[in-house]
Amino acid sequence: MPILEVKDLNIEIAGSKIVENISFTINKGDVLAIIGPNGAGKTMLLKALLGLIPFEGKIEWAQNIKLGYVPQRLEIETDIPLTVKEFFRLRDRNFNNEKIIEILKSVQLGENILNSGFGQISVGQRQRILIAWAMLNNPDVLLFDEPTADIDIAGQESIYKMLHEIQNKTNLTIILVSHDLNIVYRYAEKILCLNKKQICMGTPQEILRTERLLELYGGEKAFYQHKH
């Protein structure tokens, strides 16, 4: 059985159609990338999947599914007097130090970062903290909205490689929005092409071809496969 089934999904805000007639399914362990130009409705689709905005149509998750969400960035003042440990306590008042340390290791951070303030850590570290935060409740599905938007290329590669390793170890289902077609080509198993409407759906090998990208973006969009 699919872990998620979406059928005839429509999102309308203030009389404006944001997303129209979207249908797809995801199985456990899939990595789905949602791609498309700015304003295509990608973030709104994620919000609908999370139950944060109204919609028409069908969004059906498997029973007792647990979701984790990592936003594009944390809208928080970096000089706020809050340590990483205190940030985790906001999520889990019964702070389990051993569990937090284990999760930090999975996102390639050391225990010492717990005593650091948010203004003291890098953007890349902050994004890893958000991923760790999302994993606190042992989710079955992680949803990412451009999780490396503010990070340099080396940092992006590092974070996506880390996510790939976590997914391999835990068989997590991952849904991510990304503009980086190189990353999508390497790590996604399915691609949903969105530009308010569903333009195409398939594997990276099927979708990331010039004619498909021209249809989606309305212009040239080159990509290449990284060399290992």
Lookup result for tokens 């702070």: 95
68 versus 161: which is more confidently predicted?
68
* Per-residue model confidence as pLDDT tens digits over 31-79: 999 998 888 999 999 999 999 999 999 999 999 999 999 887 666 666 6
Domains of the chain: 1-61+177-228 (3.40.50.300)
Q: Residues 137, 140, 146, CA angle at the centre, nearest 5°?
A: 90
Helices H, strands E: what count in the chain?
Answer: 8, 9
**What is the model's pTM?**
0.83
Q: What is the pLDDT of residue 78?
A: 62
